[in-house]
C-alpha cells in the first residue's frame, strides 16, 4: 500500500485537501519534540465512555482553517470497538451522543489507542478527517490482526464549544503536576477535577486535562560514583582498568553465540555480543555490585546480572538462558456483585519467562489510567458508583509479549435495590406415565426455579481477590402442592420466591478414558500431569479421575505413556466450572517405530505416509547436527522416532494436541489451522540419552496447501506443554530449487532447532471464525426444560475436496466445549465469500455415550433440526447416516456459511459471526440451533424437591431432598429378578421412615423396565434405584428410608435374599410385608454389596455414582462392571409375573403408547399409532442388542484405578 511522506500524512489531518486521504493518521502527540517551550497545548481526557454509536458514512469536506488557527480541544471520545469490520469513531455519531461537546466543523483530529499509543505509531492502516471522523478497517490490517481500539478528540474553533455555566457542578482544578520530561525536553503536565453533581448524567465533561511543558535547562551532571569516573552521558560509572569476562550458554550447556549484552542505564546501552563460543569481554565497567547487565537472545528470556563487587582488575560471570515463554494467565478476575458505595478487588496473575512486569486493567475495553487507579496485578475500586459496573479484564506484559485475562463482570446495584429477581422463572418437570394433567394437556408440571447467578449479598470489610462468602440467587421460599395422578396424589415443592444467599459448594471433576486412536488400545497405568505435577494415573482400562483445583480456568493435562507405545499427548479439556463431572475420550497417537540414523550424514525423514499420496513435508537433518544435552557434538548412531499426525487422515483429528491456539503480540488468543503435527524423539543408540538437533530444515510441499492464501502465512510452531499454547518457532520461505525433485513442485523451507521441546506444528493463523449454537436434550421432545448440561460437544473443521461440500480432503482443527444451561457455542472456521470453503463435523457425548443427532433422511424436518429454511439448505445439513442407513446416527456435517449481516433469516443463528459471541451465548431456546438428544431409556426419576443432576448448584436445602449433601452423592440400587415371558416395569416408592421431619412423606419415585436375560428366554432383571438411608441435609440424625418395590403387573413375590432378610431382621424396625405383590423395607444404613443384592456407590458427581452402581448391579458383583444384565447373580428380590390377558395393557405399555406431546386429538381412543409409538419397538431392540451404549462409561470408572 502507498504511504505518503510523513509531512504529507500530517497535513492530511490538519489541512484537508479536497478528496479522500488514505494515509495513516499521525497524531499530534508524536510531535512533542517539535513544539517550542513557550507554547502549550491542552490534552483532556474523560474517564467516562460513551455507549456504542451508530456507524455512519460521509464525504470529505473542503480544506479547513489554517494550521495555526487558535482553538480548543474536546474531550476524548470512544463510541465503537474494533469488532465486526473495524473501529469507527465517526463525527456524526459522536454528534448524536454528545451534541454540544463537539463543534459542527472541527479544525483538526487527534487519534490514539486506548493503550495511549498514538495512531501513527501502531503500524496499522487507518483513515481520518476532521469533518468525517476516524476509522480503521480490519480487512486492511496484517493477517491475524484486527484494528486496535481507538479514541479520538477534535480541535474546535474558539468559543464553539458550550461552556459549563454551572460552575457548582465541578470542583476547582488541581494544581498542575510536575513536568513529565527530563531537563531540556518537552513533556506533559496534568491536572484533575471532580464532578460534584448527584446526577451522573451531568458529569460528561473532562475530569483530567494535560498540557505540554518544557523543563528548565539541564544543570551540570550530579551523578556521583563510589568508584571510577562518570561517563560523558552522565548515566554510568566507568573504571578504565577493569575488564569483565562472561560465558553464556543455552539450556543444557551449549554455547549461546550472538547474544547481545547491555548495561542498564536510563536507556539500555549496547556493550557487545557473544562470540561462537558464547563468550564476551567488556572493559571499562565498574565492579560496584550495583550496575545491572542485561543479556538477550531471540527465543530466550533475557538474563539480568548484577556486576560483581571486587577489588581485582578482572572478573568472570556465567549465565544460562531459559527458553522465553510468553505471559500466561494463571489467575483470572472473578465475577462479583456489589452495592453502590461498597469496595471491590479484582485480581489477575500471570507467569512467563521472564515474569510479567506490567499489568494494565480495562473497563468495557477502555484502559483505566494507571496514574488514577494505581493498579498492578490487583485493581481496587472503592466507593463504587453505578457507572463502574461492566466488564473488566487485565493485560499482563513482559519483554516476550502479552496476555489478556478472561473478562469478569462487575455488577453494581443501588443500596436499596433487590439483588435478585424475587419471581422464579418457569421450569417444567416430567411427571410419571400415569400422571397426565388435563389442565395443561401434558405430562409436565411447572415447579419454577431461580437462575443461579452472582448477587450482591453480605460481605465483611475485607477487600480480597476471592470473596470470603460467594453469594448466588437461589430459592428462598417453596410451597407444597399435590399433583393429582391416576389413583394417587404426588407431592411436590414449587419455588415461590428467590433471594440472594450463600452459593452451594460444588466440586468440578474430570473423568475419562485414554486409548489409541487407531484401535482403541487403552493406555494402561500411564501418568497424568498438570504442569510439572503428577495429578492422576490411568487404570488397567485406561480410565482416570481428576478433581479440578478450585481456581483453575484452563485445564491443561499431559498424558505420558510409561511403556512408550504412544506419543505423549497434551490436551486442553473443558470442564463444568459450576461443578459435576465431565467425561472425555482421550485419543493418543501411536509412536512410530524408531529407525537408525548416522549423525555424520545428512538424513531425510518424510512427514506423512498416506497411501497413494506424497508426504506433506520432509525433515532434513544436515550432518554433524546432533549434540548432547551438555552441548558436546554427537557423532555416533542415532535412534530416531518421528511420528506425524497427518490431517489428510480424518480419523486422527481427535488425537490432535492441545486446542490449537496461540497468543498474539496484543495478548489475544487466536486459532490455528494445522497442516500437520510431528513429534520427534532422538536418542543415543547406546545410552538412550536424549539428543538435541540444530539447523534442522523443514521442506513443505506447497501442493498440499489447497488454500493459496495460507501459503504466505505458514509458520513453524512448538507446543508449550505447561500452557497448552503453541509458540512460534519460525517462518517459511519459498525455496528456489530442490535437488532431485520434479520441476512442477514448489517447496517452502523453514528452519528450526530441536532442544527441550519435541512437538511441532505446521500451521497458519486463521481469522475466519464463527460460532455454532448447539443444544442437547433428554428426548426428541426438545423442550427447553429438558436441556442437558455437561455434554461434551466437539467439532472437526474439515476442508472439502474441490466441488464437494461433504467429501473432506483434510481436517484442520479439533475443538470441544461443554453445554451449560443455555447450550453451547462451538468455535469453527467459516467463510462469507465461499460457503463451502470449510465444513464442520459435529458430535456430542455424555459420560462416554454418544448422543443422537436429528435425522436428515428420509425425513428432512427443519422444525426438528432446529434451523428454518432457507438458511438450512445453505448450510447443507447432513446426518452421518444420510447416504448410508447402516452408519452411526451420532453426528452431523454442515457447510460453514458465515451469516450475511444484512440477511434477516441468517441473523438469528445457528451460525454466529465471531464478534457476536455474546449474542450466541444469550440466544433464547426459540432461536435457531442444532440439536442432539438422548435416546429415551426405560427409566424415570421423580423428586419431590426438584433437582437437576447436571447442575449441582440447583440443589436446595430441604429435608425431602433426594440427595442430602451437594458435595457427596450416594447412589443405591437393588436388583430385582422377574420370572416371566415379559419385561416388566418396576417402581420404587421412597418415603421418610424414621426421621421426625420426613416420616410418611415422599422423597421421590423411580421407574425402570426389566432387561431380558440373553441366555434365558423367560427371565429378566431390573436394577432399581432407591433413596439411600443416612443423614439428611442438617446432619442432625439419620433417616431409614421406607422403600416399597412394586412390579407393575400381575406379579407375586417368590423369594427374598436370605442375607438381606437377616440384615433387616437384625436392624430394627422391620417393615411389614403382608402384600406379596410388592416388597417393603427400611433401607439399610450400611453399603451391603452384591451378596445382599444391594449396590451402593458414593461420589462427588450424582451421575457418576449412579453409572458405577448400575454397572456393578448389571454384573452382580461389588467391584466389577458389565453392560449385559446377569440375572442369576447378586439378586435381592425375585418376582413371578404371569402374562396379562390379551387386551389388557400394562403400565409400561401405557407409557410407550402415550404420545410425547399429547394434544386433545391424541387422547381419543382408537387413534392410529404415532411415529413415535411405531418406533418404540425399535428402541427396545436397541436397548437389548446394544446395551453397551446404554451404560457406557460404567466399566471404565472403578472407584480406585
| Neighbour count for residue 66 (Cβ, 10 Å) | 9
Q: What DSSP designation does 592 have?
A: P
Separation CA 1064–CA 1041 (nearest Å): 13
Separation CA 551–CA 554 (nearest Å): 9
Give the dihedral sign, CA 158/160/161/162. positive
Q: What is the pLDDT of residue 823?
A: 93
Give the dihedral sign, CA 828/834/837/839. positive
Bridge-partner residues for 680, per DSSP?
642
Separation CA 668–CA 661 (nearest Å): 10
Separation CA 282–CA 308 (nearest Å): 13
Strand (E) positions, 70-141?
Answer: 72-73, 86-90, 108-113, 126-129, 133-137
How high is the mean pLDDT in each 10-residue block of the chain (1201 residues)? 31 29 33 35 33 32 42 84 84 80 88 85 90 91 86 86 55 79 72 68 70 67 81 82 91 86 87 91 90 90 90 91 89 91 91 89 88 81 90 90 91 91 90 85 89 83 81 90 88 92 86 91 93 89 89 90 92 86 91 91 89 88 87 88 90 89 87 90 86 88 85 89 88 70 70 83 86 92 87 88 63 89 91 81 88 89 92 90 85 90 85 90 93 82 84 81 83 94 91 90 92 88 93 84 92 93 91 91 90 91 87 89 88 86 43 39 33 33 31 31 31
Bridge-partner residues for 759, per DSSP?
679
Terminal-residue alpha carbon distance, the chain: 62
Q: What is the pLDDT of residue 165?
A: 40
Separation CA 445–CA 1021 (nearest Å): 31
Q: What is the pLDDT of residue 975?
A: 95
pTM of the model: 0.70
Separation CA 1198–CA 1201 (nearest Å): 6
Q: What is the pLDDT of residue 58?
A: 33
Query: What are the grid coordinates assigned to 604, written together?
Result: 531425510
Q: What is the pLDDT of residue 453?
A: 86
Separation CA 1050–CA 916 (nearest Å): 59
Contact indicator for 778, 934 with CB cutoff of 8 Å: yes
> Is omega for the bond preceding 958 within 30 degrees of 0, making it cis?
no
- Widest pairwise Cα distance in the chain: 115
CA distance to 43, 785, 1138, per residue, from 868 (Å): 53, 22, 50
For the chain, give the number of residues.
Answer: 1201
| Neighbour count for residue 127 (Cβ, 10 Å) | 21
Three-point CA angle 1106, 980, 1024, nearest 5°: 15
Q: Which residue matches cell numbers 436392624?
A: 1067
Q: What is the pLDDT of residue 1184?
A: 32
SS3 label, residue 1060 = helix
Closest CA to 704 of 644, 768, 622: 644
Query: What are the grid coordinates assigned to 562, written together?
Result: 510409561
Separation CA 348–CA 621 (nearest Å): 43
Q: What is the pLDDT of residue 200?
A: 54
Dump pLDDT digits (tens) for 345-378. 999 999 988 889 889 999 998 888 877 777 788 8
Query: What are the grid coordinates assigned to 559, written together?
Result: 498424558
Amino acid at each position: 500500500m502507498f504511504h505518503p511522506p510523513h509531512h504529507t500524512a500530517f497535513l492530511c489531518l490538519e489541512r484537508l485537501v479536497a478528496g479522500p486521504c488514505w494515509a495513516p493518521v499521525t497524531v499530534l502527540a508524536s510531535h512533542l519534540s517539535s513544539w517550542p517551550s513557550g507554547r502549550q497545548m491542552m490534552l483532556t481526557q474523560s474517564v467516562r465512555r460513551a455507549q456504542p454509536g451508530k456507524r455512519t458514512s460521509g464525504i470529505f469536506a473542503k480544506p479547513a482553517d489554517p494550521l495555526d488557527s487558535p482553538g480548543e480541544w474536546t474531550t476524548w471520545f470512544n463510541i465503537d470497538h474494533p469488532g465486526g469490520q473495524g473501529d469507527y469513531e465517526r463525527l456524526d455519531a459522536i454528534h448524536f451522543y454528545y451534541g454540544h461537546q463537539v463543534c459542527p466543523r472541527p479544525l483538526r483530529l487527534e487519534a490514539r489507542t486506548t493503550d495511549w499509543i498514538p495512531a501513527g505509531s501502531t503500524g496499522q492502516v487507518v483513515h481520518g478527517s476532521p469533518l468525517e471522523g476516524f476509522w480503521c478497517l480490519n480487512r486492511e490490517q496484517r493477517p491475524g490482526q484486527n484494528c486496535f481500539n481507538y479514541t479520538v478528540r477534535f480541535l474546535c474553533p474558539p468559543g464553539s464549544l458550550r461552556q459549563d455555566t454551572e460552575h457548582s457542578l465541578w470542583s476547582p482544578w488541581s494544581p498542575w503536576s510536575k513536568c513529565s520530561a527530563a531537563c531540556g525536553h518537552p513533556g506533559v503536565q496534568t491536572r484533575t477535577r471532580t464532578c460534584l453533581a448527584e446526577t451522573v448524567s451531568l458529569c460528561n465533561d473532562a475530569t483530567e486535562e494535560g498540557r505540554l511543558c518544557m523543563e528548565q535547562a539541564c544543570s551540570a551532571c550530579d551523578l556521583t560514583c563510589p568508584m571510577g569516573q562518570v561517563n560523558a552521558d552522565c548515566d554510568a560509572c566507568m573504571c578504565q582498568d577493569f575488564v569483565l569476562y562472561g560465558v553464556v550458554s543455552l539450556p543444557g550447556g551449549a554455547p549461546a553465540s550472538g547474544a547481545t549484552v547491555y548495561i542498564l542505564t536510563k536507556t539500555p546501552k549496547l556493550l557487545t555480543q557473544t562470540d561462537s563460543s558464547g563468550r564476551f569481554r567488556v572493559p571499562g565497567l565498574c565492579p560496584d555490585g550495583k550496575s545491572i547487565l542485561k543479556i538477550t537472545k531471540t527465543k530466550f528470556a533475557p538474563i539480568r546480572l548484577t556486576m560483581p563487587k571486587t577489588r581485582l582488575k578482572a572478573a568472570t560471570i556465567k549465565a544460562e538462558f531459559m527458553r522465553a515463554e510468553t505471559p500466561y494467565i494463571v489467575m483470572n478476575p472473578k465475577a462479583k456483585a456489589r452495592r453502590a458505595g461498597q469496595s471491590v478487588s479484582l485480581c489477575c496473575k500471570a507467569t512467563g519467562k521472564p515474569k510479567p512486569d506490567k499489568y494494565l486493567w480495562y473497563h468495557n475495553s477502555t484502559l483505566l489510567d494507571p496514574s488514577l487507579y494505581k493498579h498492578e496485578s490487583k485493581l481496587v475500586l472503592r466507593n463504587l458508583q453505578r457507572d463502574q459496573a461492566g466488564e473488566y479484564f487485565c493485560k499482563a506484559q513482559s519483554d516476550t509479549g502479552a496476555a489478556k485475562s478472561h473478562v469478569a463482570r462487575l455488577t453494581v446495584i443501588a443500596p436499596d435495590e433487590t439483588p435478585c429477581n424475587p419471581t422464579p422463572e418457569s421450569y417444567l418437570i416430567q411427571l410419571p406415565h400415569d400422571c397426565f394433567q388435563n389442565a395443561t394437556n401434558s405430562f409436565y408440571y411447572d415447579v419454577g426455579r431461580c437462575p443461579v447467578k452472582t448477587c450482591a449479598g453480605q460481605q465483611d470489610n475485607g477487600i480480597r481477590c476471592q470473596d470470603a462468602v460467594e453469594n448466588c440467587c437461589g430459592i428462598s421460599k417453596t410451597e407444597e402442592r399435590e399433583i393429582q395422578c391416576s389413583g394417587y396424589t404426588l407431592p411436590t415443592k414449587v419455588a415461590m420466591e428467590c433471594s440472594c444467599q450463600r452459593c452451594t459448594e460444588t466440586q468440578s471433576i474430570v473423568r475419562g478414558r485414554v486409548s489409541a486412536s487407531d484401535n482403541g488400545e487403552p493406555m494402561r497405568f500411564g501418568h497424568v500431569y498438570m504442569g510439572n505435577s503428577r495429578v492422576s494415573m490411568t487404570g488397567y482400562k485406561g480410565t482416570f479421575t481428576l478433581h479440578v483445583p478450585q481456581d483453575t480456568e484452563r485445564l491443561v493435562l499431559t498424558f505420558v505413556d510409561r511403556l512408550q507405545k504412544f506419543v505423549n499427548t497434551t490436551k486442553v479439556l473443558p470442564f463444568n466450572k459450576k461443578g459435576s463431572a465431565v467425561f472425555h475420550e482421550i485419543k493418543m497417537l501411536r509412536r512410530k517405530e524408531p529407525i537408525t540414523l548416522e549423525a555424520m550424514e545428512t538424513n531425510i525423514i518424510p512427514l506423512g505416509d498416506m497411501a497413494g499420496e506424497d508426504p506433506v513435508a520432509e525433515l532434513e537433518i544436515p550432518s554433524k547436527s546432533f549434540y548432547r544435552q551438555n552441548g558436546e557434538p554427537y557423532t555416533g548412531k542415532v535412534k530416531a522416532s518421528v511420528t506425524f499426525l497427518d490431517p489428510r487422515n480424518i480419523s486422527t483429528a481427535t488425537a490432535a494436541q492441545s486446542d490449537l491456539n496461540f497468543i498474539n503480540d496484543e495478548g489475544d488468543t487466536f486459532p490455528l489451522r494445522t497442516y500437520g503435527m510431528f513429534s520427534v524423539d532422538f536418542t543415543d543408540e547406546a545410552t538412550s540419552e536424549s539428543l538435541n538437533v540444530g539447523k534442522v530444515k523443514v521442506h513443505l510441499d506447497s501442493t498440499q496447501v489447497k488454500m493459496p492464501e495460507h501459503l504466505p502465512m505458514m509458520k513453524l510452531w512448538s507446543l508449550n506443554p505447561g500452557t497448552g499454547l503453541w509458540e512460534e518457532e519460525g517462518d517459511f520461505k519459498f525455496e528456489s530449487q530442490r535437488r532431485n525433485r520434479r520441476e512442477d513442485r514448489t517447496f517452502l523451507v523453514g528452519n528450526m532447532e530441536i532442544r527441550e521441546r519435541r512437538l511441532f506444528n505446521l500451521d497458519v493463523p486463521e481469522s475466519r471464525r464463527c460460532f455454532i449454537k448447539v443444544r442437547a436434550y433428554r428426548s426428541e421432545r426438545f423442550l427447553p426444560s429438558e436441556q442437558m448440561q455437561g455434554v461434551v460437544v466437539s467439532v472437526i473443521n474439515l476442508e472439502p475436496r474441490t466441488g464437494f461440500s461433504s467429501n473432506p480432503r483434510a481436517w484442520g482443527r479439533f475443538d470441544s466445549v461443554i453445554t451449560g444451561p443455555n447450550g453451547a457455542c462451538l468455535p469453527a472456521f467459516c467463510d462469507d465469500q465461499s460457503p463451502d470453503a470449510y465444513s464442520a463435523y459435529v458430535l456430542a457425548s455424555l459420560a462416554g455415550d454418544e448422543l443422537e443427532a436429528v435425522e436428515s433422511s428420509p425425513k428432512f424436518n427443519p422444525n426438528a433440526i432446529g434451523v428454518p429454511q432457507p438458511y438450512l439448505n445453505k448450510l447443507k445439513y447432513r446426518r452421518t447416516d444420510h447416504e448410508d442407513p447402516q452408519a452411526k446416527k451420532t453426528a452431523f456435517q454442515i457447510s460453514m456459511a458465515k451469516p450475511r449481516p444484512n440477511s434477516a433469516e441468517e441473523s438469528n443463528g445457528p451460525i454466529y459471526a465471531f464478534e457476536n459471541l455474546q449474542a450466541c451465548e444469550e440466544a433464547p431456546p426459540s432461536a435457531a440451533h442444532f440439536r442432539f438428544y438422548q435416546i429415551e431409556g426405560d427409566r424415570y426419576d421423580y423428586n419431590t424437591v426438584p433437582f437437576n443432576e447436571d447442575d449441582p448448584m440447583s440443589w436446595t436445602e430441604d429435608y425431602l431432598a433426594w440427595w442430602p449433601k451437594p458435595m457427596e452423592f450416594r447412589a443405591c440400587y437393588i436388583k430385582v429378578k422377574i420370572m416371566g415371558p415379559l419385561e416388566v416395569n418396576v417402581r420404587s416408592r421412597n418415603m421418610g421412615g424414621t426421621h421426625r421431619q420426613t416420616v410418611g412423606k415422599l422423597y421421590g419415585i423411580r421407574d425402570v423396565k426389566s432387561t431380558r436375560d440373553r441366555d434365558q428366554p423367560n427371565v429378566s432383571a431390573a436394577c432399581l434405584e432407591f433413596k439411600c438411608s443416612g443423614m439428611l441435609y442438617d446432619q442432625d440424625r439419620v433417616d431409614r428410608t421406607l422403600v416399597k418395590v412394586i412390579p407393575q403387573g400381575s406379579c407375586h413375590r417368590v423369594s427374598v435374599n436370605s442375607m438381606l432378610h437377616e440384615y433387616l431382621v437384625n436392624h430394627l424396625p422391620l417393615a411389614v410385608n403382608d402384600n406379596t405383590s410388592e416388597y417393603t423395607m427400611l433401607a439399610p444404613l450400611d453399603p451391603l454389596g452384591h451378596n445382599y443384592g444391594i449396590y451402593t456407590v458414593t461420589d462427588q458427581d450424582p451421575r457418576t455414582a449412579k453409572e458405577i452402581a448400575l454397572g456393578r448391579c448389571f454384573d452382580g458383583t461389588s467391584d466389577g462392571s458389565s453392560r449385559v444384565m446377569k440375572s442369576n447373580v447378586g439378586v435381592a428380590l425375585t418376582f413371578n409375573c404371569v402374562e396379562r390377558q390379551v387386551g389388557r395393557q400394562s403400565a409400561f405399555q401405557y407409557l410407550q403408547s402415550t404420545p410425547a406431546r399429547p394434544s386433545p386429538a391424541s387422547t381419543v381412543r382408537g387413534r392410529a399409532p404415532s411415529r413415535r409409538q411405531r418406533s418404540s419397538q425399535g428402541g427396545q431392540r436397541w436397548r437389548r442388542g446394544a446395551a453397551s451404549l446404554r451404560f457406557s462409561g460404567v466399566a471404565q470408572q472403578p472407584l480406585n484405578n
